[in-house]
Amino acid sequence: MPEPITVVMVGAGGGSVLLELARRQYRICKELLDLVGGAVALAVFLPVMAVCAVLIKLSDPKGPVLYRQVRVGLNGRLFTIYKIRTMYVDAEAHGQAVRAGAEDPRVIPASRWMRRSHVDELPQLWNILRGEMSLVGPRPERPELYEDISREVPGFEKRLAVKPGLTGLAQIKNGYDTDMAAVRRKLVMDLQYIDGVSLGHDLKLLLATVSKFHDSGAR
């Protein structure tokens, strides 16, 4: 008959194996959800993006329709994010990252609804299909903002443990970051999401995202 301590150790080891198997199964299911969900969403919203493209070119024909920006992704890897351009060309000509404010004059009037409905983020479905982002996860920050925030908010780098997402717990509940207090709340929610990841939770957050298609707090 095995010693009690041996039974406890075997039981603990078995629990660790089951936990790792559950995590692996979740990662596989999440990747499938991203691939299938991203492809379906891209097909559904393609006409909406086409309308946005026409409005942008009519309002500010000098610039491109898509806006490219470097962001910090999984484990600190940099990648290029895609958005529908909603600001005039050279909105950041001074070279510094500036968060958009309420009634920001840099925003093209015809594209304000795109920001309120977040349809300007739809090109990131391509980032999801490329494996750089997930449907659900923390929002990726710009490198320069990430460095500034990391100096003021301890533990901010923990958000890099998972792929950044198009939507997520912090995006739905915390809204737009207006100050460091909002950033700290976002970190708490992002870590809460990371600690309790599950496919069911991801699906609930995707459903909750529907309410953000009319976001009065968007900038």
Tens-digit pLDDT profile for residues 40-91: 999 999 999 999 999 999 999 989 999 999 999 999 999 999 999 999 887 6
DSSP annotation string for 30-96: HHHHHHHHHHHHHHHHHHHHHHHHHHHHHH-TTS-SEEEEEEE-GGG-EEEEEEE--B-TTTTTTS-
In which band, very low, low, confident or very high, does the pLDDT at 3 lie, cut at 50, 70 and 90? very low
State residue 98's pLDDT score.
56
How far apart CA 49 and CA 125 sit, in angstroms, is 12
Q: Please tell me the pTM assigned to this model.
A: 0.83
Tens-digit pLDDT profile for residues 112-147: 999 999 999 999 999 999 999 999 999 999 999 999
AA identity, residue 189? M
Residue 163: pLDDT over 50: yes
Q: Would you kindly state where each structural domain of the chain is located, as residue ranges?
A: 36-214
Average pLDDT, the chain: 87
